[in-house]
């Protein structure tokens, strides 16, 4: 395959085989459905009653044939007919109620599953999202949940009705003529075997179907997100091909289940036909020699048809149930995921911190034994600006990601005002830190919503004040609808510079003690950049700031500059100190800012910077550690 590993890696990790037993999956589904006990009990009772009523018509037929017709009792026949109509009406009423109750229980279960899934997935740490594709998550939350819904509303009602009916018909058949009944029951072990075998074959295959569906969604999600790239490189054809491949695999997986069904259904029907043949063979003979009434034989025949019907239905339902079990298992896999970053029991709240941040001999790796950060030590006094510089992939983003506990260090610790951040409640820690990410992300909704995301209870005045501080107010007012402008998914309706300023306003509104700025390598126009720069300068005032800096002005203002190289801090000091030292920093500085007039103030330097978009990270060849 021509394309890179992203999506493939997801598939490679998918578990192709079943992890848990069917009983375990059922037990867990049952636990969730337990809240719906009342509905289910009600449904079962109504089903039982309606099935009981269903036993009467064939018995009545027998009575008509054997007793009423021979004695020509017309009035009783009419009375019986009216009675039967009433009986059917009552039965349909009960069926309606039972189906409604089961559907309600089933829908509640589905609601509950989707809700739990979302809540748990939201709680999970970033590592989970790095491992798991968007398409896979969406697939489980929608498609897998949907399959369970179908199985429950259709399958569950029908299988309960079917099972109850089967038992009831069995009893009636025994009462009517136990010898014939035994003949019929003789076929049941064969049926049980056939359906067991097909169930086993199906469940495994349905698991594959669910996974293939996920793959289709994964390609879909990735290609929708990456549509700009696909268009820019005129690779729509390749995307389509990739989709087609997954889609084809999905089709094949579905056909694999269809072929099992295609065999199992006729086999089961054959077995039921065999039962029928046996009954007529022996029954007819006994009717002829007078040991069995014709009425009984006719009644029996209709009971057999009715008896085998739910059996055949159950086979069908079995397909649906197997599919649902596979889906349920996939949902449980996500429900069982636990966050890597967890809060300690008895964690304390970080209240009004001064903002003294320390990294003490911090080591970190994304993958085992491949340290990305090595022995990082930082002492950020309250109110200081700490600038991190270094070539791309040197570990700048990773370093700051440890502060809000997106990840936990492998060794060493990070403290705020002397508290190990792992002893703090995650909520209070994150409330006191705000992060402006390298890539700004806005949620679909209005500009107001997106700024207010920083603090949901903010007033309109506070929102506008934050926007003004971020130099966003003016451009917002120029948009149709102003603060009500819909930004589109991910903020697609705004320019990058605009998105950055909205993200800044969001951080300002939060008014955090500790601010983390992962500056995007600026590819915005010089004017916008100047605004962003001014906004940044304001935002940084009075806070402890970690800034991954690409702008000279920011770096110059920093109290400490840390130069990272392959996950180690190789130099530290102020701009002047580091320049004087003539080491790695000076080299970086000369590569990037050689063209810039020295001695001018930061803003002007940034604003007049040549447009080739060079930055600290781009100024060095990409190296990975």
Q: What is the binding site for ligand ATP (CB under 6 A)? A: 130, 366, 372, 390, 392-398, 438, 617, 624-625
SS3 519: coil
Q: Determine which residue in the list 51, 239, 316, 397 makes contact with Mg ion, applying CB under 5 A.
A: 397
Q: In 3D, which of 527, 522, 408, 467 has the Cα closest to residue 126?
A: 408
Q: Which is nearer to ligand ATP, 330 or 550 (CB)?
A: 550
Contact indicator for 163, 314 with CB cutoff of 8 Å: yes
114/388 with CB nearer Mg ion? 388
Distance CA 233, CA 217 (A): 22
| Shorter beta-carbon distance to ligand ATP: residue 389 or 578 | 389
Q: How far is the CB of 561 from Mg ion (least distance, A)?
A: 16
The span from the CA of 615 to the CA of 593, in Å, is 9
624 interface partner picked from ligand ATP, Mg ion, none, CB below 5 to 8 A per type: ligand ATP
- 195: partner contacted, choices Mg ion, ligand ATP, none (Cβ within 5-8 A by kind): none
**Min CB(392)–Mg ion separation in Å:** 7
- Count of residues engaged in binding Mg ion, rule: CB under 5 A: 1
Whether 571 and 578 have beta carbons less than 8 Å apart is answered as yes
Q: Using CB under 5 A, which of the segments 39-47, 79-87, 364-372, 394-402 binds Mg ion?
A: 394-402
CA distance 443 to 453: 9
Torsion of CA 374, 380, 385, 386, to 10 degrees: -10
Least Cβ distance, residue 242 to ligand ATP (angstroms): 23
- Asked whether position 398 contacts Mg ion by CB under 5 A, the answer is no
Is the CB of 158 or the CB of 617 nearer to ligand ATP? 617
How far is Cα 323 from Cα 331, in angstroms, rounded to an integer? 13
Residue (225 or 381) nearer to ligand ATP, CB? 225
Residue closer to ligand ATP (CB basis): 329 or 519: 519
Q: Which residues have C-beta within 8 Å of that of residue 368, sequence separation ≥ 6?
A: none
- Shortest reach from residue 370's CB to ligand ATP, in Å: 8
Residue 476: contacted member of ligand ATP, Mg ion, none (CB under 5 to 8 Å, by partner type): none
Query: Residue 548 CB, nearest distance to ligand ATP (Å)?
Result: 6
Q: Are strands 419-420 and 568-573 parallel, antiparallel or unpaired?
A: unpaired
Q: Say whether 289 sits in a helix, a strand or coil.
A: coil
Residue with nearest beta carbon to Mg ion: 397
Cβ proximity of 278 and 285 under 8 Å:
no
Would you list the DSSP string of 327-370? Answer: HHHHHHHHHT---SS-PPTTPBP--S----EEEEEEEEESSTT-
d(CA 603, CA 534): 7
Q: At closest approach, how far in Å is the CB of 4 from ligand ATP? A: 14
- Minimum Å distance from CB 14 to ligand ATP? 19
| Count of other CB atoms within 10 angstroms of residue 44 | 15
Nearer to ligand ATP, 206 or 407 (CB): 407
Q: 98 contacts which partner out of Mg ion, ligand ATP, none, CB within 5 to 8 A by kind?
A: none
Tokens of 246: 């997954």
The Cα–Cα gap between 544 and 408 comes to 21
Q: Pick between residue 400 and residue 472 the one whose CB is nearest to ligand ATP.
A: 400
CB of 394 to ligand ATP, least distance (A): 4
CB of residue 433 to ligand ATP, shortest distance in Å: 17
Nearer to ligand ATP, 510 or 550 (CB): 550
Picked from ligand ATP, Mg ion, none, the partner binding residue 140 (CB below 5 to 8 A depending on kind) is none
Classify residue 599 as left (phi > 0), alpha (psi -120 to 50) or beta: left
Binding site for Mg ion (CB under 5 A): 397
């Amino acid at each position: 395959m021509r394309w890179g590993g992203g999506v493939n890696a997801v598939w490679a990790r998918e578990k192709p085989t079943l992890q848990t037993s069917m009983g375990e999956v059922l037990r867990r589904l049952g636990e969730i459905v337990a809240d719906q006990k009342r509905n289910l009990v009600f449904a079962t009772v109504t089903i039982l009653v309606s099935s009981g009523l269903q036993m009467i018509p064939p018995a009545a037929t027998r009575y008509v044939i054997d007793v009423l017709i021979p004695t020509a009792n017309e009035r009783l026949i009419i009375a019986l007919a009216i009675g039967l109509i009433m009986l059917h009406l009552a039965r349909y009423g009960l069926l309606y109620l039972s189906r409604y109750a089961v559907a309600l229980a089933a829908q509640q279960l589905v609601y509950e599953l989707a809700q739990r899934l979302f809540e748990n997935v939201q709680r999970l740490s970033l590592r989970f999202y790095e491992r798991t594709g968007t398409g896979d998550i969406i697939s489980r939350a929608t498609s897998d949940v949907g399959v369970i819904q179908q199985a429950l509303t259709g399958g569950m009602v029908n299988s309960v009705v079917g099972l109850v009916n089967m038992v009831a018909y069995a009893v009636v058949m025994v009462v009517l003529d136990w010898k014939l009944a035994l003949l019929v029951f003789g076929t049941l072990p064969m049926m049980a075997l056939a359906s067991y075998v097909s169930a086993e074959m199906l469940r495994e295959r349905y698991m594959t179907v669910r996974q293939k569906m996920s793959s289709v969604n994964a390609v879909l999600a990735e290609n929708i997100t990456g549509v700009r790239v696909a268009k820019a490189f005129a690779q729509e054809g390749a995307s389509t091909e990739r989709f087609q491949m997954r889609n084809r695999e999905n089709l094949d997986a579905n056909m694999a289940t269809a072929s099992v069904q295609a065999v199992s259904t006729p086999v089961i029907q054959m077995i039921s036909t065999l039962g029928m043949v046996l009954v007529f063979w022996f029954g007819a003979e006994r009717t002829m020699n007078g040991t069995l009434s014709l009425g009984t034989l006719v009644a029996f025949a209709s009971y057999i048809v009715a008896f085998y019907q739910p059996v055949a239905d159950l086979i069908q339902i079995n397909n649906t149930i197997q599919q649902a079990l596979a889906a349920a298992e996939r949902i449980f896999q996500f429900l069982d995921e636990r966050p890597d970053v967890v809060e300690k029991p008895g964690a304390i709240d970080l209240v009004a911190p001064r903002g003294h941040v320390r990294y003490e001999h911090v080591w970190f790796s994304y993958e085992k034994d491949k340290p990305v950060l090595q022995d990082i030590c930082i002492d950020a006094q309250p109110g200081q600006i700490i600038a991190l510089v270094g070539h791309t992939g040197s570990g700048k983003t990773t370093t700051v990601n440890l502060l809000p506990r997106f990840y936990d260090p492998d060794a060493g610790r990070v403290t705020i005002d002397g508290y190990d951040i792992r002893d703090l409640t995650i909520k209070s820690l994150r409330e006191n830190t705000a992060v402006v990410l390298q890539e700004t992300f806005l949620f679909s909704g209005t500009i107001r919503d997106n700024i207010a995301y920083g603090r949901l209870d903010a007033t309109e005045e506070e929102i506008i004040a934050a926007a003004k501080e971020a130099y966003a107010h003016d451009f917002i007012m120029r948009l149709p609808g102003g603060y009500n402008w819909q930004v589109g998914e991910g903020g697609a309706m705004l320019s990058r510079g605009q998105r950055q300023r909205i993200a800044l306003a969001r951080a300002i509104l939060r008014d955090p003690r500790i601010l983390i700025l992962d500056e995007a390598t600026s590819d915005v126009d010089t004017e916008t950049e100047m605004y962003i720069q001014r906004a940044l300068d304001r935002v940084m005032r009075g806070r402890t700031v970690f800034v991954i800096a690409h702008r000279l002005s920011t770096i110059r203002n920093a109290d400490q500059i840390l130069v990272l190289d392959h996950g180690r801090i190789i130099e530290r000091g102020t701009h002047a100190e580091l320049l004087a030292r003539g080491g790695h920093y000076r080299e970086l500085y000369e590569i990037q800012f050689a063209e810039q007039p020295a001695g001018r103030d930061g803003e002007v330097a940034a604003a007049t910077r040549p447009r080739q978009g060079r930055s600290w990270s781009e100024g060095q060849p990409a190296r990975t550690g």
